[in-house]
């Protein structure tokens, strides 16, 4: 039996603009998916998932994907979760050359599903790492990130960026520009996350920004301005200047709002965090709903968010220095 965990992430800067080649800075957070893998004596794949912010479920099926589903959650969620695990195991078969091996896979996660915190990337990274080790192969971090990216790319039909999977595999703060991902230095980042209980539709939100950018030159300028904010943000991170990082997060959020990807609950949570004294606050991920991230070393923002209408959950999450963790 092998066990690996991998962290989720927030975008400190640069979501959406990264789609057009601007840099972005995602950061791994200490909220993890933990995957336990045990090789079976047959070629079946059995997946159990608990604490995925949905009811626990169990799915079992054969190598031909035509088997029985034994589930108690809606089919779209099952399809999504199974797609990721199935894709991860395909990568394991490919990299080990052992394509008729089955596994029992158990997933536990404290990352809200589909809320822009990279839950699927964390599951995929941890699953590939644990299953390859179960077969006696330990992947280098770059190879693990690449295999996890290929999984997300296939499941999301070409819509995945490398940010989530790279960040989850390596941990820490990362600079993403095009296909290039590099770990960067960052000070301790006291993240506070507010979650509205929902999720935006990433494909629609990305398409909306694309349409605005094509229609208005100032929308294209807004995207480019986000790139400028990110570059200034990197300098502030290197200098360990959290106040400046916060100011730039506020700026980044304003530009994302101008591009139409914010939402009422996200705005309410962002303003609650700012009023509570956070250095800065912004939406994180595709927007439309889901999560905001604020920077605040004091307990004030978390407390304020807990009493903010529209905020379903609020929690602290430090920067995860370590990416994938090999637990057993
Ligand atoms: C979504 O988490 C982040 C976006 O920038 C899309 C992407 O980079 O693939 C909106």
Query: Is 279 domain-assigned?
Result: yes
Cα distances (angstroms) measured from residue 82 to each of 31, 160, 165, 182, 319: 21, 17, 17, 30, 28
How far is residue 32's CA from residue 323's CA, in Å, rounded to a whole number? Answer: 10
Give yes or no for residue 277 having a pLDDT over 50.
Answer: yes
Per-residue pLDDT at 288: 94
How far, in Å, from the CA of 207 to the mean position of ligand 1?
11
Q: Which residues are catalytic?
A: 164
134 assigned to some structural domain: yes
Q: Is the CB of 22 under 6 A from ligand 1?
A: no
Out of 58-62, 155-159, 296-300, pick the least confident: 58-62
Distance 27 CA to ligand 1 centre (A): 14
Are 223 and 269 part of one and the same domain? yes
Does residue 170 share a domain with residue 251? no
Overall number of domains in the chain: 2
One domain, residues 143 and 175: yes
Which of 185, 208, 233 is at the close of a domain? Answer: 185
Residue 78: per-residue pLDDT: 58
- The CATH number that applies at residue 247 is 3.30.70.890
- CB-ligand 1 contact for 148 (6 Å cutoff): no
Residue 201 lies in a domain: yes
| H/E run at residue 233 | helix 217-239
| H or E, element range at 138 | none
Quote the ligand 1 centre to 52 CA distance (angstroms). Answer: 21
Query: Given this model, what pLDDT does residue 56 score?
Result: 42
Does residue 40 share a domain with residue 21?
A: yes
Mean pLDDT, the chain, rounded, equals: 90
The lowest-confidence range among 82-96, 106-120, 137-151, 250-264 is 106-120
Extract the tokens encoding 179: 């296909």
Which of 147, 169, 185 lies at the terminal end of a domain, its last residue? 185
Q: Which domain holds residue 171?
A: 2-185
> Measured in Å, how far apart are the chain's first and last C-alpha atoms?
7
Residue 70 has pLDDT above 60, yes or no: no
Please check the confidence at residue 37 and state whether its pLDDT lies above 50. yes
Q: Does residue 325 sit within a domain?
A: no
Whether 120 and 212 map to the same domain: the answer is no
Q: Is the CB of 9 under 6 A from ligand 1?
A: no
- Confidence (pTM): 0.91
pLDDT for position 131: 98
Q: What is the pLDDT of residues 111-132, one digit of tens each?
A: 987 788 999 999 999 999 999 9
Is residue 328 in some structural domain? no
CATH code, domain carrying 178:
3.30.230.10
Note whether 89 and 40 are same-domain residues.
yes
- Give the residue from 163, 181, 115, 152 showing the smallest Cα distance to 15: 163
- In this predicted model, what pLDDT tens digit does every residue of 92-110 receive, in sequence order? 999 999 989 999 999 998 8
Q: Among 77-86, 143-152, 218-227, 232-241, which stretch is predicted with the lowest mean pLDDT?
A: 77-86
45-50 and 103-109 as β-strands: parallel, antiparallel, unpaired? parallel
129 located within any domain: yes
């Amino acid at each position: 039996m092998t066990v690996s965990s991998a962290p989720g992430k927030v975008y400190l800067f640069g979501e959406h603009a990264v789609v057009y080649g601007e840099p972005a800075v995602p950061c791994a957070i200490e909220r993890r998916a933990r995957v336990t893998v045990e090789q079976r004596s047959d070629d079946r794949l059995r997946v159990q998932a608990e604490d995925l912010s949905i009811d626990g479920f169990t799915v079992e099926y054969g190598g031909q994907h035509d088997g029985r589903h034994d589930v108690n959650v809606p089919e779209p969620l099952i399809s999504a979760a199974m797609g990721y695990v199935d894709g991860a195991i395909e990568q394991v078969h490919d990299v080990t050359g052992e394509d008729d091996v089955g596994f029992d896979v158990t997933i536990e996660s404290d990352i809200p599903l589909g809320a822009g915190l990279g839950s699927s990337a964390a599951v995929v990274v941890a699953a590939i790492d644990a299953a390859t080790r179960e077969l006696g192969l330990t992947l280098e971090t770059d190879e693990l990130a690449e295999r996890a990216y290929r999984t997300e790319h296939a499941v999301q039909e070409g819509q995945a960026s490398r940010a989530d999977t790279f960040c989850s595999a390596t941990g820490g703060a990362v600079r993403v520009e095009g296909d290039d991902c590099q770990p960067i230095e960052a000070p301790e980042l006291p993240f506070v996350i507010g979650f509205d209980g929902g999720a935006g539709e990433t494909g629609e939100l990305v398409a909306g920004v694309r349409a605005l950018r094509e229609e208005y030159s100032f929308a294209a300028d807004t995207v480019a301005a986000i790139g400028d904010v990110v570059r200034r943000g990197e300098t502030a991170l290197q200098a360990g200047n959290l106040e400046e990082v916060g100011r730039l997060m506020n700026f980044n959020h304003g530009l994302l709002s101008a591009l139409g990807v914010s939402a009422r609950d996200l705005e309410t949570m962002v303003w609650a965090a700012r009023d509570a004294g956070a250095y800065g606050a912004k939406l994180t991920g595709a927007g439309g709903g889901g999560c905001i991230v604020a920077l605040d070393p004091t307990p004030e923002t978390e407390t304020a968010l807990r009493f903010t209408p529209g905020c379903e959950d609020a929690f602290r999450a430090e920067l995860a220095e370590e990416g994938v963790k090999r637990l057993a």
